[in-house]
């Protein structure tokens, strides 16, 4: 099989610069329901104004626990592809739920689990953990995350409205877990990685044995001012190319880490990145989930 690797890079020096988005003045954020909400206020509005059916479900886990999950359905006559959405280091939020709703608006069934389900006091999830959310997420073992994604995938495949094809899409911590699920799940149809690295990657190497197991095409979307993640891109690109994998990647100059949920940052660069990244995401998902 011939490798497919799309290249779109900013100059190398941009990979070495890391300018936090919050250090730049905020820009006025226009309402735009053609892309995911750009901040918390827009997420709240998107959920309040949505006409789509969303529901909370508890997905059974192999260990006997329950994965508290937000599921949103598109308004269409035919069956739809399923997208598993992985939240960032902040856990379950209105923003990630609104992003699921955006996916449903764009024609997909969105399954948005709280990966901290059962990890809080009295068996609670993100909402019960307060300022301990980040610490709790870091304690999640890789095999546990895979098991939770596999359970969500099985739930999606069992939905009468689903067409049997599943992709995964994640942000930050979730972006890395999205790449990780492409390594672990051979039945995955596609993986979208927003500013996440390959689990176990360094600036010098990625685990080539794991890369060799990938069967799903991968789309990576990165901010130019995100040296921590971008330092791992050269070895990732090299490993994906050497293994003959399909890897499309785009780096948006001037945008910071987390640009999709912080569109008012980086003096307009985050907003520009979001406006360009989302159509790329939809094109990729439609190609592989039809």
Per-residue pLDDT of the chain (290 residues; tens, 9 = 90+): 444 555 544 443 343 344 343 455 688 899 999 999 999 999 999 999 999 999 999 999 999 999 999 999 999 999 999 999 999 999 999 999 999 999 999 999 999 999 999 999 999 999 999 999 999 999 999 999 999 999 999 999 999 999 999 999 999 999 999 999 999 999 999 999 999 999 999 999 999 999 999 999 999 999 999 999 999 999 999 999 999 999 999 999 999 999 999 999 999 999 999 999 999 999 999 999 99
Q: What is the pLDDT of residue 20?
A: 42
Furthest CA-CA distance within the chain: 51
Which is nearest to 137 in space by CA: 127, 146, 126?
Answer: 126
**Overall pTM > 0.85:** yes
The pLDDT, as a whole number, for residue 89 is 97
Q: How far apart are CA 42 and CA 273, in angstroms?
A: 17
Q: What are phi and psi of 143, to 5 degrees?
A: -70, -30
In this prediction, residue 200 carries a pLDDT of: 93
Distance of alpha carbon 99 from alpha carbon 86, whole angstroms: 10
> Which pLDDT belongs to residue 26?
83
> For the chain, what is the total number of helices (H) and then of strands (E)?
11, 9
Q: Which CATH superfamily is domain 4-23+30-289 in?
A: Alpha/Beta hydrolase fold, catalytic domain (3.40.50.1820)
CB 9 within 8 A of CB 253: no
């Amino acid at each position: 099989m011939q490798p497919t690797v799309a290249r779109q890079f900013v100059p190398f020096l941009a990979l070495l610069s890391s300018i936090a988005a919050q250090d730049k003045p905020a820009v006025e954020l226009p309402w735009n329901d053609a892309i995911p909400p750009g901040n918390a206020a827009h997420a709240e509005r998107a959920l309040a104004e949505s006409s789509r059916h969303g529901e909370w479900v508890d997905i059974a886990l192999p260990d006997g626990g329950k994965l508290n999950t937000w599921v949103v359905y598109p308004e269409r006559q035919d069956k739809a592809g399923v997208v598993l959405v992985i939240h960032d280091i902040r856990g379950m939020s209105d923003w990630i739920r609104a992003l699921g709703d955006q996916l449903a608006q764009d024609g997909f069934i969105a399954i948005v689990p709280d990966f901290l389900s059962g990890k809080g006091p009295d068996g609670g999830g993100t909402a019960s953990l307060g300022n301990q959310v980040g610490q709790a997420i870091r304690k999640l073992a890789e095999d546990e995350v895979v098991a939770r994604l596999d359970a969500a995938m099985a739930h999606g495949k069992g939905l009468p409205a689903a067409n049997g094809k599943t992709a995964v899409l994640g942000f930050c911590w979730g972006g890395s877990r999205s790449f990780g699920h492409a390594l672990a799940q051979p039945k995955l149809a596609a993986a979208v990685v927003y500013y996440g690295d390959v689990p176990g990657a360094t600036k010098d190497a990625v685990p080539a044995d794991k890369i060799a197991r990938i069967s799903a095409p991968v789309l990576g979307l990165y901010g130019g001012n995100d040296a921590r993640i971008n330092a791992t891109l050269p070895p990732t690109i090299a490993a994906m190319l050497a293994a003959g994998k399909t890897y499309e990647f785009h780096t948006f100059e001037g945008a910071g880490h987390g640009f999709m949920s912080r569109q008012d940052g980086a003096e307009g660069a985050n907003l520009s990145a979001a406006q360009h990244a989302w159509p790329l995401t939809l094109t990729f998902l439609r190609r592989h989930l039809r």
